[in-house]
Structure formats: C-alpha cells, structure tokens
Amino acid sequence: MCDQTKYRKIHGPFLLSPLVSSEVINITGVQNVNNCMMLCRMKGCSVIVAMTTTSTVCRLLILKGLSLSNTILDSPSAVGSEAGSQVLVNADINATLAAMIKNSSVKLLNSSTGQIGSVQLVNITLTGCYRIEVAGARGGDNLYKSTISGKGSWVAGSFNLTAGTQLTIVVGQAGGMVSESSATKDCGGGGGGGSFVYRTADGQLLIAA
C-alpha cells in the first residue's frame, strides 16, 4: 500500500523547539513541490522547505527525539525563513511531538548541600501534557543506634503546560544525621526537606511533597 501521508502548508517558518533533535537533508534538482512531498514520505520527514530558483531545492527535516535535560532558555529555530520558501508540515506533526513528550523524561536531583538548597529551572518549549513526579527527602539516620529514617512522601500528577512556561523546582535535602557520639544518642534525626514545583511567572504551586 502506498504511503498516504498528508502535508499542509503553513504561513511563515516552522518554529523548531531547541529541545527537539533533528536531521536535515538537502536535495537539489527536484522538479516541483509534489516531488518534495514524495521524497519526504520516503525519508520519513515531518517538515518540508521548498525553495524555488531555476529548480526546486528540498530541505527535509526529520524529527529524531526530545531531550528535556536542557534547562537553558534558548529561542526556537526558524525553519524555512528564507525569502520565497514554501513550508509544509506533516498533518500529524502535533501527534508526533506529543509522543516525543510522552516518551521523554528529565530527573532533577538535589544539587547542593547545607541548609539552603539551590533552585533549578526548566523551560517548556513544547505545548503538551506533562507528568510530574515529586518526592520529599528522607529523614536523617541515627548513626549511634544504627537506625535508618523513613523515606519522604511521593506525589505525581499530569499538567497541561504551554510553550514559554518556566517552572521553578526545589528538591528537598535529607535530614541531618545523629552522630556516633553518646551525647546525642537519644536524639532523632532531622526531618527531610520538601520538594516543590511552581510556575516562575506567578508563583502558582503545581505540586509538592
């Protein structure tokens, strides 16, 4: 059965999130835009940029995957911003991006020591539904009595986040331990710190543990 992938023309360039890895293939000497679409189907690409001069040059963009580990606020790349370019996207591109979000994850751990933990930022560059899991830190152990403290709570939820949203994340630290000194043998370990995720712009708390 022939590939019936459909494409739709968009006005202006396609804005590619900096978190999406991609492969670009340039093909020269193509007769027309229809041939570009045929090549795109063969290569499994999601975005076509057709630039017409004496002949048509096809730029095919293949989306490879998503990495949410980049927390630096980068601007999206404008694919097809050249004058006279025609930009077409796979009709299912939103579903493709949503699947990438679903199958990708980032884990943020406590990144410092001491009483004051550090704040970590994550910038959302793709609109979609994100699952956020938050765990509170465990309490401190009593080394003198060789007792181990309990674990912190765990909470999870799904949130619709739009591109451009920045999240502030605080990861709790483990409670202080009781030393092996007899002077503190009957003391309890310190309580574990809480973990929080909230929107940076308005301070709206999304989830905490």
pLDDT tens digits, 82-91: 888 899 999 8
**In whole angstroms, what is the distance from residue 136 CA to residue 192 CA?**
7
Q: How far apart are CA 34 and CA 30, in angstroms?
A: 9
- Residue 109 domain-assigned? no
Q: Which residues of 41-64 are buried (b: 16+ CB within 10 A; e: fewer)?
A: beeebbbbbbbeeeebbbbbbebe
CATH of the domain at 83: 3.50.4
Question: Residue 26 has what pLDDT?
Answer: 92
Instruction: Tell me the one-letter amino acid at 119.
Output: V
Per-residue pLDDT of 171-206, as tens digits, reads: 877 666 666 555 555 665 555 677 889 999 999 999
Average pLDDT, the chain: 78
Best-predicted range by mean pLDDT among 108-112, 139-143, 171-175, 203-207?
A: 203-207
- Given CA atoms 193, 131, 89, 10 in this order, what sign does their dihedral have? negative
Task: Give the rounded percent of residues in the chain with a pLDDT score beyond 90.
Answer: 19
Q: Give the position of tokens 């999130």.
A: 17
Contact present, 80 and 14 (Cβ < 8 Å): yes
Q: What is the mean pLDDT of residues 133-156?
A: 72
Give the domain-ending residue among 56, 78, 103: 103
Q: How many domains does the chain have?
A: 2
Does residue 131 share a domain with residue 203? yes
Residue 94 has pLDDT above 70, yes or no: yes
User: Binning pLDDT at 50, 70 and 90, where does residue 2 land?
Assistant: very low
Domain boundaries, position 24? 7-103
Higher pLDDT, residue 200 or 116: 200
Name residue 99's amino acid. Answer: A
Would 172 be classed as within a structural domain? yes
Position 71 confidence tier, pLDDT thresholds 50, 70, 90: very low
pTM of whole model > 0.75? no
Residue 113 falls inside a structural domain: no
The answer to whether residue 2 sits within a structural domain is: no
> For residue 108, is it within any domain?
no
Render pLDDT for 22-60 as a digit per residue (tens, 0 to 9). 899 999 888 888 999 999 989 989 999 998 766 688 999
Q: Are residues 80 and 149 in the same domain?
A: no
- Does 26 fall in a domain? yes
Same domain, 141 and 184: yes
* pLDDT at 156 > cutoff 70: yes
